Amino acid sequence: MYEPRARVIHVEGATAGVDESAGHKRYQEVNRPKFVQKWRERLESEHLPNGTDDWLGANLRRRPHVLVVDHRIPQWDREAGALRMRGMLEALLKLGCHVTFLPDNALPMQPYTRELQRIGVEVLYGVELPQDLIRIAPNLALVILSRPQTAARWLTLLREHAPEAFVVYDTVDLHWLREARQAAKQGGMDGDELVLTPKVNAMRELELGLIRASDATIVVTDAERAHVQADVPDAVFHIVPTVNAIRARVPGAGGRAGVLFVGGFEHPPNVDAALALVNDVMPLVWRDLADVGVTIVGTDPPPEVSALAGPRVRIAGWVPDLDPLLDSSRALVAPLTFGAGLKGKITQALSVGLPVVTTSIGAEGLDADDGEQLLIAEDPEQLAARVIAVLTDDELWAKLSSAGQELATDQCSPAIMNERMAELLERTRPVPIPGL
C-alpha cells in the first residue's frame, strides 16, 4: 500500500527509553542476533547492508525501473500530448514496472502530480533533481526522454550514470517538421511543402542527433519515421500513437447539433485552424445552414481567437470534462494547414464515434480514406461542403461514426499502447541492484 501524502514521525525512545542496558530497551540487543540468525539468508540475498543507501533500500523491487522525463507534469485534460504521456505511464505500470517521472521544469503541478502518485508513479521534483537522478540512475532499466530540448538536457547525465539503461528518445512529434510547415504557411505556400529556415535546420539537426545518440526512437506515425530514416538509416524506431479509450456506447445523430473544435492554444497550428474554421469555412456553411453553432474548446485562447466569439460562436476555453460536448456535437471540424504527428483531437473524436472533417494534415498518420472513416478536404469550399454533408445526412453520419471507431480501435486504442510499451521493455536487460 502506497500513500504519498503520508508522513511518519519517529520519536526516539518514547516507548522503551534509550538505555540499551535497562528495561524493555535491553531486549533490542538480546534479540538482534536471534533475528539475524533466523533471517540470515533473506537478509543477505534481498537487503542492503544497514546504512548503505537509504533511498535504494526503501525502493528495492524485483521489477524493471523505468524513468520517464518530459518538459512538465502531464496535464492530460488540457493537451493531447499530455494525454498520450499519461497513457504511456499507465501502460508501464500495468506491465509491472517501477515508474519514476521527472518534469524538466521541476514543478509539482497540481492536481496532476498527486494523481500520478495516486496511481503509483514516483514523481521527482524540486531543486535537487540532478542529484535525485544520479541517485536512482544505476538501477534504471529503461529511460524515455520526451521532446528535443528536454532530451538534450538530460541525455549526457543519464548516459554517464545509467550506463546499463536502454535509452529511448520520444519525439512526441517531429518538431522541425512542424516548424518547417509553419514557415511554408507563413511564406504563402500550401500543402506539405517545407521551408528550412535557420531555426528549422537547428531543430532538425538537434532531433537527428538525439536519434543517433539513443538506443531507439519513438515516433507517433509511420510517416514521421519515413521523414528521418533516410538520414539515420541504422536507427531503431517504435511507433507509439496518441491513444484514447474507445467509447462503448455512442449517442446517435438525433438530438446532436453544431460543430466542435478542440485544441490547446499553446500550439500555433490550433490558433491558425480555429481562425480558418470561423473566418473561412463556416461563412460558407452558414449560407445554407444559418443556425449552426460552433464551440471552440482549448486552453488559453489568444486574443485573436477570443475575438471570434459571437452569436453563433462560443469560445469555451478549457473545460474540465469534454464528454458532454463530444456527445452533443454533430461533427468535429479541424481545418489544419500545418503541424506534425498524430492529432489528438482527431483520434479522440474517432474514439467516441464523433464524425470528423479535416485536412490531409489533420488526417496524417491515420490509414484513412476520405468518405470512409472521416471526411478530408483542403480548401474552404470543399471543407464547407463536407461539413454540410455530415450535418444533414444521418446515414453518412452513422457510417462515419462506426467506421471511425473501428479505425481508432485498430490504430489508437490503449491496447496498442500496452503492446508498444511491452516491446520496449523486451529490449532492456536486467540491471543488478548494487550491493546484492
- Listed residue (64, 209, 99) closest to 151, CA to CA: 209
Tell the residue number behind the cell numbers 544520479, with chain if given: 134
Q: How many CB atoms lie within 10 A of CB 51?
A: 7
Whether residue 325 contacts residue 293, with contact meaning beta carbons closer than 8 Å, is answered with: no
- Rounded Cα distance between 144 and 61, Å, is 20
Whether residue 85 contacts residue 74, with contact meaning beta carbons closer than 8 Å, is answered with: yes
Q: What is the mean pLDDT of residues 326-342?
A: 86
Query: Which set of grid coordinates corresponds to residue 201?
Result: 535546420
DSSP string for 187-199:
TT--TT-----HH
Tell the residue number behind the cell numbers 542529484, with chain if given: 131
Sheet (strand 375-376) strand order = 313-317, 294-297, 259-262, 331-334, 356-358, 375-376
Element (H, E) at 386: helix 380-392
Give residue 294's pLDDT: 93
DSSP string for 148-168:
HHHHHHHHHHHHHH-TTSEEE
Element (H, E) at 270: helix 268-276
Give residue 188's pLDDT: 64
List pLDDT tens digits, range 383-432: 999 999 999 999 999 999 999 999 988 888 888 889 899 999 988 877 66
Domain annotation for the chain: domains and CATH numbers: 65-243+417-426 (3.40.50.2000), 259-412 (3.40.50.2000)
Give residue 244's pLDDT: 82
Q: What is the mean pLDDT of residues 72-91?
A: 89
The Cα diameter of the chain in Å comes to 94
Name the more confident of 342 and 130: 130
* pTM for the structure as a whole: 0.78
- Rounded Cα distance between 359 and 356, Å, is 10
Q: What is the DSSP letter of 294?
A: E
Q: What is the mean pLDDT of residues 223-238?
A: 87
Does position 216 have pLDDT exceeding 90, yes or no?
yes
Whether residue 175 contacts residue 340, with contact meaning beta carbons closer than 8 Å, is answered with: yes
List pLDDT tens digits, range 6-45: 888 988 888 888 888 888 888 888 898 999 999 998 888 7
- Listed residue (335, 336, 314) closest to 325, CA to CA: 314
